[in-house]
Structure 1
Amino acid sequence: MSNGQANLNRLTYFVAVVETGSFTGAADRLGITRAVVSQQIARLERDHRTTLLIRSTRRVRTTEAGQAFYYRCALILKEAEDAFGELAETAREPSGTLRLTAPFDYGTGVVVPAITTFAERYPQCQVEAHFSDQTLDLGDGRLDLAIRVGWLTEQHLPARLIGHFEQRLVAGLQWQSRTQGLAAPEALSALPIVANTALRDPTRWHFHHDALTRQSVTMTAPIMLDTTLAVREATLAGAGLAVLPDFVADPDIAAGRLIEVLPDWHLPRGDIHAVFPPARYRPARVRAFVDLLAQPPSP
């Protein structure tokens, strides 16, 4: 084994230890023995006279130098993976591991069914999905793709518009008698809401009825929650009115668990984007999954 090959292998071992949090986890991921991983990391630290990892009986964590080294190694290995992927593009068959992130609500309701279809269609692919209402960084090289719902803030990254969503004004069945006679948004201001603090202005709602008729209303929010699914649960429990995206609200409206309030008045429509890291090469698995996600839902 050449020194260059040995050094690249050590990078792979080191990254696996950091990402799994243990030598045993790294060995399991790589299909080698724990002893080999431990020996190679020790040689890496000895050759460069730097402590990269702090070992404990429960977990391995990085030193400050180790964390900085990890970020560089992860990028190097991702570039190497992309290079080999580009060589394999001649086959045009998606393969490898697709790593993506999406908001929890959209991920659960929309992305998971797409992942299931994708895995059935492309058996040579694996999918690692991270669902979080926090915006995960695409710049560290560990993700192939991010699904962003709503306002797109990463203007410096390549993105593709893959869909839209409508916002629904909804309430639990407990509010049916108080809302069914409402004629315009101005009548809403006396009613309590469950505010979603993930929105830019959670208590100020802007409606339009047609191109010329618009109304804005400021609401009172006794309850303010920071995730869409938490807002849904509070709304189902009768805590007040709420604004939910259609991919969350529509199944409950269809099942009779929620009612739509002022259905002839509309809130602003939002966009859904696929956002990509700043890489020149985009693997076939990424393109195939985004194409699948962008397809209109079946009637």
Structure 2
Amino acid sequence: MEAINLNRLAYFAAVVDAGSFTKAAERLGITKTVVSQQVARLEAELKTSLLVRTTRKVEPTEAGRKLHARCVMILREAEDAVDELSEARDAPMGLLRIGAPNDYGASMVAPVAARFARRYPACMVDLVLSDARIDLVASHVDLSVRVGWLDDSSQQARCIGTFRQILVASPDLLRTMALREPDDLAGLPFIVNGALREPLLWHFSKGDFERRTVRMRQVISINATPAVLAAARAGGGLAILPDFLVGDAVRSGHLVEVLPEWTLPSGGIHIVYPAARFRPPKVTAFVAMLTDEIGRALA
């Protein structure tokens, strides 16, 4: 037997409920002819009479009554399924899997994830912290937060903020140095962040026209940014760190900004998505919260 056209079940149920082909057609917003033809085809497919037509009313046969009872259940299940999809489309729910680098993930993304979980109890958050580049598809990640500069312009990405890079040193170490300009940095001890592509070569700017490029002298190399911060606080050497990580240490006096009149290139904070036409509400809601948090931090 061929598959039944489910639209015909809806037409048949409407006729039984309305007791008339004319009223069913009005309810469905189609012509009486279409309703009559579709019900006739349903009877032909089932090889069973489903309706008894009189001059005043249409009544279901015994087989029609049984089928109608099933149709009501089927159509109600379909409506419930559509309602559930509609709710899922409009309200954040389900598992939200996020990728982020260790430093930014711990300092900025994790607190936002905690607030997101409280605000949307129908959601569960899985935050994956790694300085290695995450394959969004293979890791089933809904979104990835990437800090710095994107290598692949073809990715579906959105820049939601920026950060400053700051040259810092411990107060005790800084007292042993005589620094007036970036060229003075070349021979001084420097803590290298091994997670960067060019960790020794830095470009300084002052105003609109002054530019200096300095190659630092490595004394320590560390492949994790939070550990670079710890080594700098311990006086191991100068370090260049992002403002979101080093800000508290500078404000507390544990570290001092060096040559503050000179600036380093700013980096971007990006949301990278797997390829998809639509973003589920859980993704858009989280990105909105993270963007708001970044805005407050910059204010």
Q: Same fold (TM over 0.5)?
A: yes
Mapped pair 1:193 → 2:155: no
| Deviation of 1:151 (Å) | 1.4
Q: Is the 8 A contact 1:86 1:283 kept in 2?
A: no
Is the alpha carbon distance of 1:209 and 1:86 closer, same or farther for their aligned partners in structure 2, counting shifts above 3 Å?
Answer: farther
Q: Is the 8 A contact 2:143 2:283 kept in 1?
A: yes
What SS does structure 1 have at the residue aligned with 2:133? Answer: coil
Looking at structure 1, the residues matched to 139 and 101 of structure 2 have their Cα atoms a distance apart, in angstroms, of 19
| Deviation of 1:87 (Å) | 2.1
Structure 1 segments, 4+ long, off by >4 Å, are 83-86
Alignment of 1:138-177 (within 5 A): 138-140=136-138, 142-177=140-175
| Deviation of 1:198 (Å) | 1.8
Looking at structure 2, the residues matched to 216 and 89 of structure 1 have their Cα atoms a distance apart, in angstroms, of 55
Question: Which runs of 5 or more structure 2 residues have no equivalent in the other structure?
Answer: 1-80
Q: Is the 8 A contact 2:164 2:267 kept in 1?
A: yes
Deviations 1:13-32 (A, max 9, x none): xxxxxxxxxxxxxxxxxxxx
Looking at structure 2, the residues matched to 218 and 269 of structure 1 have their Cα atoms a distance apart, in angstroms, of 18
Looking at structure 2, the residues matched to 144 and 84 of structure 1 have their Cα atoms a distance apart, in angstroms, of 23
Looking at structure 1, the residues matched to 267 and 109 of structure 2 have their Cα atoms a distance apart, in angstroms, of 17
Partner of 1:297: 296
Of the three residues 233, 237, 241, the one matched with 2:238 is: 241
Mapped pair 1:215 → 2:208: no
Question: Which runs of 5 or more structure 1 residues have no equivalent in the other structure?
Answer: 1-82
What SS does structure 1 have at the residue aligned with 2:99? Answer: strand
Partner of 1:282: 279
Looking at structure 2, the residues matched to 288 and 108 of structure 1 have their Cα atoms a distance apart, in angstroms, of 20
Looking at structure 2, the residues matched to 266 and 84 of structure 1 have their Cα atoms a distance apart, in angstroms, of 55
Looking at structure 2, the residues matched to 223 and 229 of structure 1 have their Cα atoms a distance apart, in angstroms, of 14
Alignment of 1:54-73 (within 5 A): none
Q: Is the 8 A contact 1:95 1:122 kept in 2?
A: yes
Partner of 1:78: none
Mapped pair 1:231 → 2:228: yes
- Match of 2:245, as an amino acid? V
Looking at structure 2, the residues matched to 192 and 135 of structure 1 have their Cα atoms a distance apart, in angstroms, of 30
Q: Is the 8 A contact 1:86 1:281 kept in 2?
A: no
Looking at structure 2, the residues matched to 237 and 205 of structure 1 have their Cα atoms a distance apart, in angstroms, of 23
Of the three residues 93, 96, 119, the one matched with 2:94 is: 96
Looking at structure 2, the residues matched to 160 and 85 of structure 1 have their Cα atoms a distance apart, in angstroms, of 31
Of the three residues 111, 123, 129, the one matched with 2:127 is: 129
Alignment of 1:109-124 (within 5 A): 109-124=107-122
